[in-house]
Amino acid sequence: MDQQDIRSELGLRPIVNVSGTMTSLGASIVVPEAVAAISAILPQFVEINDLQKKSSRVIARLCGTEAGFVTASCSAGITLAVAGAMTGSNLAAIERLPDTTGLKNEVLIMTGHMVSYGAPVEQGIRLAGAKVVPVGQATGARAYQLDGAITDKTAAAVYVVSHHTVQYGLLPLEEFVAICHARGVPVIVDAASEYDLKGFLATGADMALYSSHKFLGGPTGGIVAGRTDLVRAAFLQNMGIGRGMKVGKESIVGTIAALEAWEKRDHAAVRARETRNLELWEQTLSAKPGVTATREADPTNNPLDRLKVAVEPKEAHITAWDLADALASGQRPIIVRDHEVEHGFFYLDPCNLHPGQEVIVAERLVEELEKARRSNEIIATPLEHRRNRGAEALRRWPE
Ligand SMILES: *Cc1c(COP(=O)(O)O)cnc(C)c1O
């Protein structure tokens, strides 16, 4: 595989991804069914709105809802869904956005859901021209706060399901929906990374948004699913602010193919393979001084476990973040899941590996841990350097 790896032709590092599904790493491994559909459609002309009708039927079936369409990303879906909730099918209003004069233009979101997935969720709302109305505090939202935030200008409420959000003290979706519906406010769920295609709509949400390029293994794209009138209003934004979020025929057919493949996938076999990888790494780390490996379930109940690797620098002779950096360097770079590394641990995520790569991960862990143990000093660089490194590199890009 290495010889034909297009990455070496492009001068890019052959990274192994145990970080998860990250836009910055190329999202996911696109499933063969989607790759085939994409290459089949690329040389052909199609009537895009008819292709989107086809996507609507597939999305409706897979999500147990009325309608859907494919857009550029889940992030685009947030903006288009919010825009549609404000304009309905009024084409003149659609062309006027982001000017919302005369429209309901307030969008509620719990403060604990105002997270960043690489860009702020609330910016996706503001892009449509809407005004964001935060509900509650970072670590708490109560029914009276949501109810009290609804006015005659409220167009919609956005609910985010993600490991990024505050995981306690906030309103569960069911209660959030009940309060919003009692006042006629539609609920849009950002479920970009959630494997559950039906549950949020079944709980009563009016729209659910997903990424094509995450767990589904589709091309870059976003899925908008839900009530026909709201989905149509979001779709019509393609004649307005949605133009800059255009999706091509390849992403529409690729998403359809990925959804159909998801329906047929042997999910138990995938889970079993992931579990074997976790067991291998657990075994590999079991006798390593200063390293504790424990399996942890996904925080939003996706059917996925990760290996939490806690590093005690005095014993291991290296901090968790320096180990993450060491693993990410050299000829066989391994990118670990390091969102919380300041607490002295990172995760190994088994869901984006080609067969055999789990062995490379195990070998690299041994290699770097043994190198650290041989070091006379404890490898411990200040965390603030690492924290600011990404932003500094970006300011120098494309250097
Ligand atoms: C990834 C993600 C998004 C953005 O999805 P894209 O399809 O990459 O735009 C939005 N919300 C959440 C919670 C996410 O995890």
Q: pLDDT tens digits for 157-181?
A: 999 999 999 999 999 999 999 999 9
Could you tell me the distance, in angstroms and rounded to a whole number, from the CA of residue 75 to the centre of ligand 1?
6
Q: What percent of the chain has pLDDT over 70?
A: 99
Grouping H, G, I as helix, E, B as strand and the rest as coil, residue 355 is coil
Q: Is 3 exposed, middle or buried (0-12, 13-18, 19+ CB in 10 A)?
A: exposed
Distances (CA, A) of 122 to 130, 147, 233, 256: 10, 20, 20, 28
Nearest-5° Cα angle at 119, 397 to 296: 105
**Ligand 1 and 190: CB distance under 6 A:** yes
The answer to whether the CB of 216 falls within 8 A of the CB of 259 is: yes
Q: Is the pLDDT of residue 320 over 90?
A: yes
Residue range 241-300, pLDDT digits in tens: 999 999 999 999 999 999 999 999 999 999 999 999 999 999 999 999 999 999 999 999
Q: Which two tokens stand for residue 341?
A: 């590394």
**Ligand 1 and 90: CB distance under 6 A:** no
Residue range 128-160, pLDDT digits in tens: 999 999 999 999 999 999 999 999 999 999 999
Looking at the CA of residue 162, tell me the nearest atom of ligand 1: 13
C-alpha to C-alpha distance for 295 and 351, rounded to whole angstroms:
14
Distances (CA, A) of 81 to 154, 163, 207, 233: 14, 22, 8, 8
From 120, 76, 91, 57, select the one nearest 256 (Cα to Cα): 57
Residue range 63-111, pLDDT digits in tens: 999 999 999 999 999 999 999 999 999 999 999 999 999 999 999 999 9
Give the confidence band of 334 by pLDDT, cuts at 50, 70, 90. very high
Q: Is the pLDDT of residue 22 over 90?
A: yes
Could you tell me the distance, in angstroms and rounded to a whole number, from the CA of residue 321 to the centre of ligand 1?
25
Could you tell me the distance, in angstroms and rounded to a whole number, from the CA of residue 214 to the centre of ligand 1?
9
Q: Is the pLDDT of residue 234 over 60?
A: yes
The Cβ of residue 51 has, within 10 Å, a number of other Cβ atoms equal to 17
Asked whether the bond before 398 is cis by omega within 30 degrees of 0, the reply is yes
**Ligand 1 and 222: CB distance under 6 A:** yes
Q: Is the pLDDT of residue 236 over 60?
A: yes
Looking at the CA of residue 210, tell me the nearest atom of ligand 1: 7
- Mean of pLDDT values over 293-316: 97
Q: Is the pLDDT of residue 398 over 70?
A: yes
How confident is the prediction for the chain on average, in pLDDT?
A: 97
**Ligand 1 and 357: CB distance under 6 A:** no
Q: What percent of the chain has pLDDT over 90?
A: 96
Residue-range domains of the chain with CATH: 3-24+266-394 (3.90.1150.180), 31-264 (3.40.640.10)
Number of residues written out for the chain:
399
**Ligand 1 and 55: CB distance under 6 A:** no
Q: Is the pLDDT of residue 1 over 80?
A: no
**Ligand 1 and 145: CB distance under 6 A:** no
Give the confidence band of 390 by pLDDT, cuts at 50, 70, 90. confident
**Ligand 1 and 124: CB distance under 6 A:** no
Give the confidence band of 3 by pLDDT, cuts at 50, 70, 90. low
Q: Is the pLDDT of residue 383 over 80?
A: yes
